[in-house]
């Protein structure tokens, strides 16, 4: 899981966001796809409440990196969980 630290796309990420991502990575290490996605979305939601906003590109990058090495089924679980949480977040933000 620590291979993501070397991803060149993360080098330009805001240090606060990168720290949150590192926290998420530590919390999801060894977890299943559903658990990973839920943890990530929880951290993003918490960050939003504190005024830290991840762009859709940053979220997509984080998900791409976190799905590396996961089985196709786990990758589908991650995508499904993210879609569900995103829909719920959009509903409550309106």
Q: Residue 93: its pLDDT value, please? A: 59
Question: Could you tell me the CA-to-CA distances from 33 to 13, 27, 38, 53 in Å, in that order?
Answer: 24, 13, 9, 23
Q: What are phi and psi of 52, to 5 degrees?
A: -95, 120
Number of domains in the chain: 1
Asked if 65 and 24 touch (Cβ cutoff 8 Å), the reply is no
Q: Residue 61: its pLDDT value, please? A: 78
CA–CA separation, 58 vs 92, rounded Å? 22
CA–CA separation, 59 vs 64, rounded Å? 8
Domain that holds residue 41: 2-93
Q: What is the mean pLDDT of each run of 10 residues along the chain (94 residues)?
A: 66 82 74 73 80 80 78 86 73 60
- Sign for the CA dihedral angle at 57, 91, 80, 37 comes to positive
Q: Residue 4: its pLDDT value, please? A: 63
């Amino acid at each position: 899981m620590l291979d993501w630290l070397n991803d060149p796309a993360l080098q330009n990420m805001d240090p606060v966001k990168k720290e949150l991502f590192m926290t998420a990575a530590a919390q999801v290490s060894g977890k299943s796809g559903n658990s990973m996605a839920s943890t990530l979305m929880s951290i993003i939601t918490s960050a939003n409440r504190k005024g830290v906003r991840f762009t859709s590109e940053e979220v997509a990058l984080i998900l791409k990196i976190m799905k590396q090495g996961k089985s196709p089924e786990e990758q589908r679980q991650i995508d499904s969980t993210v879609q569900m949480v995103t829909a719920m977040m959009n509903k409550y933000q309106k």
